[in-house]
Amino acid sequence: MKQQDDLYDVVVIGGGPAGLTAGLYLARARYRVLILEKEEFGGQITITNEVVNYPGIARIDGRTLTETMRQQAEDFGAEFMAADATGLDVEGDIKTVHTNRGDLKTFGILVATGANPRKIGFQGEAEYAGRGISYCATCDGEFFNGREVVVVGGGFSAAEESVFLTKYASKVTILVRGDDFTCDASVSNEAKNDPNIEIHYNTEMKSVSAGEGGLVSAVFHNCKTGEDTEWKPTKSKNFGVFVFAGYVPQTDILKGVIDLDEHGYVITHDYLETSAAGVYAAGDLREKNLRQVVTAVSDGAVAGVELERYAKDLSEKTGLVPPRPTSSNYEKREAEQAKKAANSGTSPAPAAASDVATGGQAAGPVKTSGFFDDAIRKQLDVVFGRMSQPLVLELSLDKTKLSQELKGFIDELVSLSGGKLSSVVAPDPAEGEEDAEGRATFDVEGVMPMARPCVRLCKVGSDGKSQPTGLAFHGVPSGHEFNSFVLGLYNAAGPGQSVDNDTQQRIEKLDADGGTTDVMVLVSLTCTMCPTTVLSSQRIAAGNPKVKAEAYDISHFPELQSQYGAMSVPCIVVNKTDASGKTTQKVEFGKKTVPQMLDLIDEA
């Protein structure tokens, strides 16, 4: 048998519950497995505020659940890569997965790319996306506090998210196309019995119209009678629309490679093998009657075990062996516990149920400070250890409690950095007076408003002075924005997150004509889609001095929400200024990867 270093037993395309579970099973069995994800590990379930039907876990949010899965897979030795799969060659014993970061050789392939929310196509849907039309209740529900909302859909998501939206909305109206919901009665009954929810059956959304302040009216279409009815909110001037109308399978790269049904879903046979030998499919992209996180996990386990056998057979047939893991973090922890027990003359106690999620730490966070628990400190140690140069965090503050919170947050972060970070409070800018409460005003129409408080990431120049990198956060970068802020530090200090050569060249060529690009990203700390967008824009800014990328916590700067009519986050405002000084602006909504952000900048 000959070891081939560039070979994998299995490449998993998709880092949602199905892909992560398969990776866990394969890695635990000592097979070399690589999990690819083009956006964010965890999949669609990460935007779910509350999961209550996952066996063994009474209540958990989607992001925490999938982060536990990812940590489990990593602990057993699974490898991860942030990349976009662009094509497959599935002929022969060794298959090739083409990605934007190069080609990958493998015995087997698991496709677990999932599905994305379906657009319905009613009049006004595309025009008002982000300005009243949304697809994520967790991300955008808070923007409709005290307003009415209309939910379009009759499945699990529509029923569950309608109940969630009653936390914010004064009233929820659900449009169900059929005679009843298509989900279990246990789910739909909660919506049916909620006094703040009104349900219209056999009804579709035909159009929406906007006026002062946002959406003001809609037209409902009765599928049975053919009658159209104009609808207006009675408890608020404006309203929002949340669309939960199913999903579209992400199977474009599989067309012409394996068999798909008429809707684009993958057709699988016994044990989830597709029409191509050695290519398996798991999760929401395949043809099946129930798409839930528990069925995705089941698919991943079944496919993972089958791919173990397939990889073993192919290795014996070809005489080739990938460099498989010989130990794992999990085994090291078990061995350490056994060693301690042997030294003390006792038997090791069984691990707590939450140990996998916490890396072997005791259940529950161990608070070591006001902002960062012990687990986060360990993650920070890794990032600080990799930073190639120190950074200065420059604070622009006013006299609000939020400024005090930001200063405390940054002071503590600096104290944990081992000298990699320092901070300085900048002199008050000429722009913006402070009101009676100490809050600084700012020019809301400015290209990059100086909204305080703000932290800017700076390098230290050869003259010892701070040099802005173009990366900044307005507010306190906590919640879901903490990870993107920390990775922003890594990208600004170097070496930064790797991107493929084509993407790097695109970043470097931006504004080669002498212009500049300013990217504002309006975010919410509860939004699960915002961090990817912030990270993408700031990765670009870190690689090109003519680009600035700054994030604004919209909850503290409502003037910006009004300025751009943002009823959804992330809201991206791109201002491009050419060499002559002429500025053009483009406003966009939704999660963006680095290549997608580059496309948006090119379009501006």
Residues 51-65: pLDDT tens digits?
A: 888 899 988 888 889
Model confidence at 346, in pLDDT bands (50, 70, 90)? low
Question: If residue 34 lies in a helix (H) or strand (E), which one and from where to where?
Answer: strand 33-37
Structure tokens belonging to residue 274: 């597709």
Model pLDDT for residues 97-122, shown as the tens digit of each residue: 999 889 999 999 999 999 888 899 99
Cis before 453 (ω within 30): yes
CA distance 473 to 456: 7
The percentage of the chain sitting over the pLDDT mark of 70, rounded to a whole number, equals 94
pLDDT recorded at residue 367: 38
Alpha helices in 61-209 (DSSP H): 62-75, 137-140, 156-165, 185-192
pLDDT recorded at residue 351: 46
Q: Is the pLDDT of residue 275 over 60?
A: yes
Model confidence at 357, in pLDDT bands (50, 70, 90)? very low
Instruction: Name which of 227-241, 315-329, 341-355 the model is least confident about.
Output: 341-355
Q: What does residue 359 show for φ and ψ, rounded to 5 degrees? A: 70, 30
Q: 333 or 466: whose pLDDT is higher?
A: 466
- C-alpha distances out from residue 332 to 76, 161, 182, 340, 349, Å: 10, 42, 47, 12, 16
Residue type for position 44: Q
Q: Is the pLDDT of residue 366 over 50?
A: no
Residue type for position 160: E
CA distance 182 to 254: 29
SS (H, E, C) 118-134: CCCCCECCCCCECCCEE
Model pLDDT for residues 394-435, shown as the tens digit of each residue: 999 999 999 999 999 999 999 999 999 999 999 877 666 888
Q: Is the pLDDT of residue 80 over 70?
A: yes
Model pLDDT for residues 510-540, shown as the tens digit of each residue: 999 899 999 999 999 888 788 889 999 999 9
Question: If residue 504 lies in a helix (H) or strand (E), which one and from where to where?
Answer: helix 501-509
In the numeric block, the tokens 């876990």 are attached to: 57
Average pLDDT over residues 490-506: 89
- C-alpha distances out from residue 165 to 35, 220, 323, 348, Å: 34, 20, 49, 46
Average pLDDT over residues 251-261: 96
pLDDT recorded at residue 428: 78
Mean pLDDT of the chain: 90
Q: What does residue 109 show for φ and ψ, rounded to 5 degrees? A: -130, 135
Cis before 495 (ω within 30): yes
Cα–Cα nearest to 560, from 447, 434, 401, 402: 447
Question: Cβ neighbours of residue 256 under 8 Å, at least 6 residues apart?
Answer: none
Instruction: Name which of 8-12, 85-89, 109-113, 133-137 the model is least confident about.
Output: 133-137
* Rounded (5°) CA angle 300-12-73: 65
Q: What is the dihedral of CA 245, 251, 256, 259, to 10 degrees?
A: -70
Model confidence at 359, in pLDDT bands (50, 70, 90)? very low
Q: Is the pLDDT of residue 165 over 80?
A: yes
pLDDT recorded at residue 292: 86
Q: Look at the pTM and tell me if it is higher than 0.95.
A: no
Please give the full DSSP string across 538-573, using - where no structure is assigned: HHHHHT-TTEEEEEEETTT-HHHHHHHT--SS-EEE
C-beta separation of 551 from 483 below 8 A: no
C-beta separation of 97 from 104 below 8 A: yes
Average pLDDT over residues 300-328: 95
* Rounded (5°) CA angle 291-296-302: 130
Question: Cβ neighbours of residue 532 under 8 Å, at least 6 residues apart?
Answer: 39, 40, 484, 591, 592, 593
Model pLDDT for residues 377-402, shown as the tens digit of each residue: 888 998 999 999 999 999 999 999 99
Query: Terminus-to-terminus CA distance in the chain, angstroms?
Result: 55
Residues across the chain:
604
3-state secondary structure (DSSP) of residue 455: strand
Average pLDDT over residues 351-355: 43
CA distance 381 to 416: 8
Cα–Cα nearest to 525, from 493, 480, 567: 480
Residue type for position 112: A
